[in-house]
Amino acid sequence: MSAVIEIAGLRKSFTSLRHGRRIALDGFDMLVEAGQVHGFLGPNGSGKTTTLRTLLGLVRPDFGRMALFGEPTPQRLPAVAPRFGAIVESPQFFGNFTGWRTLYLLAVAGGVPRNRVDEVLEQVGLRDRGDERVRTYSLGMRQRLAVASALLKGPELLILDEPANGLDPAGIREMRDLMRDLAAAGVTVLVSSHILAEIEQICDHVTIISQGRRVAAGPVEEVLAGFDHGEFRVRVADQDRAVEVLTAAGLTVSRLPDQLVVGGVEDPARLSQLLGEQDLWVRELTPLTPDLESAFLELTGTRPVPGVPRQVDESTLPGPTGDDPLAVTVTADDQTDEGAHR
């Protein structure tokens, strides 16, 4: 599979009089390959928007390497611009224009054939509402109009920053279906969010960021597998004896009022055998499968440990005079504007 987005060792700091120097990205890495629906997850303020804005040339990094479709950015952004669509800032539309007219004007401005307008309206499920004024649209419909505008040029990659933000459950469902449809149509999708349940349902790959650093990445099942501690919920009548038996067998046991959580279980049959041999009959034996939510909390609830090397060794990164074609050789100008942030 070919890399569509590559980010290595990206660092960005902001300086303000009030807060001093703040590191938003601290040697961040990301790899998105063609065909993925890639979730970019992190708590508020972890650096998702800064990453996307930097990738799109809206913010200058201190240093790091970035590439879109193998072309170094921001240097080669104009060359790859026709191949991706992005919604990173909330797009503003004229309320008095219809959805169709909005897209038509954007199509004309972008040199896109007029017939694309109907196609993208269809794609985002707004075909029936295209002749209504945008001010009558719900937030979810405006979001879909924004996606439609990004789809006009038929991009191979779509980058969406928090597309479900502010949407009601129906809007979230529509957005989720839309992303699935796009993926099925062969579009690579990178979607940032802190709504884990949604990401878990639509994404096949995930990168988790915490405090400007990548803390996990890979196929969703693989990331989750790392959090499978072999835990089972066990119910038996005599909990005291069950704790004794299981602990003696080397298993970790936590007691809850009416159940035990047993960890380190490789074979559940062995667990029920251990208890059965002591006339302790198992009433319930349920695997506690990890979900992205708990993985996310476990990962992002842990501050990066001082002294532990970052995932990117700065010494391997090209310096400002390096000749790496992907290197961004920009000095830290810290163009901070906190008031204007989002």
Rounded Cα–Cα distance for residues 114 and 94 (Å): 19
Show the 3-state SS of 226-238: CCCCCCEEEECCC
Tell me: does residue 84 bind ligand ATP (CB under 6 A): no
Tell me: does residue 87 bind ligand ATP (CB under 6 A): no
The shares of helix, strand and coil residues in the chain, as percent rounded to the nearest 5, are: 35, 25, 40
Tell me: does residue 54 bind ligand ATP (CB under 6 A): no
Considering only 36, 49, 143, 239, the residue that binds ligand ATP (CB under 6 A) is 49
Q: Where does this chain touch ligand ATP (CB under 6 A) — which range of 272-280, 281-289, 296-304, 334-342?
A: 334-342
Tell me: does residue 311 bind ligand ATP (CB under 6 A): no
- Near ligand ATP in 181-220, by CB under 6 A: 194
Nearer to ligand ATP, 138 or 165 (CB): 165
SS3 of residue 312 by DSSP: coil
The least distance separating ligand ATP from the CB of residue 296, rounded to whole angstroms, comes to 13
The alpha helices in 219-311, defined as continuous H runs, are 220-225, 239-248, 268-276, 292-300
Tell me: does residue 36 bind ligand ATP (CB under 6 A): no
Tell me: does residue 61 bind ligand ATP (CB under 6 A): no
Q: Where does this chain touch ligand ATP (CB under 6 A) — which range of 3-11, 48-56, 74-82, 97-105?
A: 48-56
Number of residues that bind ligand ATP (CB under 6 A): 17
Rounded Cα–Cα distance for residues 159 and 150 (Å): 9
Contact criterion met (CB below 8 Å) for 155 and 187: yes
Rounded Cα–Cα distance for residues 226 and 76 (Å): 37
In the complex, which residues of this chain contact ligand ATP (CB under 6 A)?
14, 16, 22, 24, 42, 44-50, 194, 336-338, 341
